[in-house]
Amino acid sequence: RQRRLRGIAHRPTHTRDGVSVSLQANLELPEDVEIARGNGAAGVGLYRTEFLYMSRADLPDEEEHLATYTAMIEDLDGIPITIRTLDLGVDKRADGLTACGSAACNPALGLRAIRLCLKEPALFRPQLRAILRASAVGPVRLMLPLVTNVEELDTVLALIEELKHQLHQQGLPYDDALPVGAMIEVPAAALSARAIAKRMDFLSIGTNDLVQYTLAVDRLDDSVNYLFDPMHPAILRLIRMTIEAANSADIPVSMCGEMAGDTQFTRLLLGMGLRELSMQPGALLDVKELILQADTQDLRRRVAQLFTHLDETSPARLLDALNQA
């Protein structure tokens, strides 16, 4: 089986009915790029940048960000990369920062990710400038984590315009068309996906946090992990709303949470209309094998049926039925 999977790594990814699907990798460390390339990733759909801040007492400056991104872009050799801005929080801590909500009662609901970045411009600006400068080196997209309202987006977009102006004045190159996207990982964002899609160049669904926040299940607490269920009807509806919002706005939508790399959901996600999935690089070939066998027209029809039964039948049973034939 391993040999067969290796054989499909560099084949184009399209379904039996000829629909092409972009399978991308999530990277947490620069080293992860090797497995991603070996497994034929079409891009990096999520580059987590928290590693730059972890296990150290100081903070990375603009040049260190830029050098790290440039090295990665060169390693990727023309394959596009989506760089996510700092997503520090209780699940990803930095020693050089105290403002991570660690003292709060509900740190997952506290000052983290985009909130922390907007509160601390000295933290955010060097990273944004570095991502802008990296966009002159190769194909880059910029992605914002934990967005909850459009004001956050407007603030970031204004900041990016200001930094572009600054770079221009300094004679430093950047891609003026750098795509900026939002992660949809808070229920409020999924419910406001239309307004978000109007402002953004792409959306990416982060199911790890979307499940945590929608189902009120701490993703780090083992005592409640039996409740952590991406098949909960509420989650499926939020995912569907997000896909529809992106389609109406005519912008790309991907999924980069763990759900995207779990083969039990591949047929479901194709049937819901997703054509871009980003996952830990080790999962790429298993998902690809299923995509090569899939028929999107058939799956579309069957998933539409599945949605009509969502409130009567257990979602696990519906998923089994979808995966059987």
Count of alpha carbons within 13 Å of 200, Cβ hemisphere only?
Answer: 35
| 100 counts as catalytic | no
Residue 58, marked binder: no
199 is an annotated ligand-binding site residue = no
Q: Contact between 60 and Mg ion (CB under 5 A)?
A: no
Sign of CA dihedral 142, 147, 153, 159: negative
The reply, when asked if residue 74 is annotated as ligand binding, is no
Return d(Cα 60, Cα 226) in angstroms, integer.
Answer: 38
CA distance 165 to 150: 23
Q: Which among 100, 105, 117, 256 is annotated as catalytic?
A: 256
Select the residue whose beta carbon is closest to Mg ion and give its number.
Answer: 209
CA 17 to chain centre: 27
181 part of the interface to Mg ion, by CB under 5 A? no
Token pair 């600006």 is at which residue? Answer: 125
Residue number, 164 or 179, with CB nearest to ligand PEP: 179
- 209 binding Mg ion? (CB under 5 A): yes
How many separate helices (H) and strands (E) can be counted in the chain? 14, 8
| Residue 113 contact partner, candidates ligand PEP, Mg ion, none, CB within 5 to 8 A by sort of partner | none
Which of ligand PEP, Mg ion, none does residue 207 bind to, with CB < 5 to 8 Å depending on kind? ligand PEP
Name which of 208 and 323 has its Cβ closer to Mg ion: 208
136 versus 264: smaller Cβ distance to ligand PEP = 264
3-state secondary structure of 137: coil
- Binds Mg ion (CB under 5 A): choice among 43, 60, 110, 206: 206
Contact of 43 with 80, CB cutoff 8 Å? yes
C-alpha 84/C-alpha 53 separation (Å) is: 13
Work out the angle between the directed axes of helices 207-215 and 233-249 (0-180°, nearest 10): 130
- Per-residue mark of binding to Mg ion, 23-42 (x: CB under 5 A): --------------------
Residue with Cβ nearer Mg ion (153 or 294): 153
Q: State the Cα angle at 253 between 153 and 149, rounded to 5°.
A: 25
Which residues, 122 to 161, sit near Mg ion by CB under 5 A?
A: none
219 appears as a binding residue in the annotation? yes
Numbered residues of the known binding site: 48, 84, 185, 208-209, 219
Numbered residues of the known binding site for phosphoenolpyruvate: 48, 84, 208-209, 219
Numbered residues of the known binding site for Mg(2+): 185, 209
Residues marked active site are found at 256
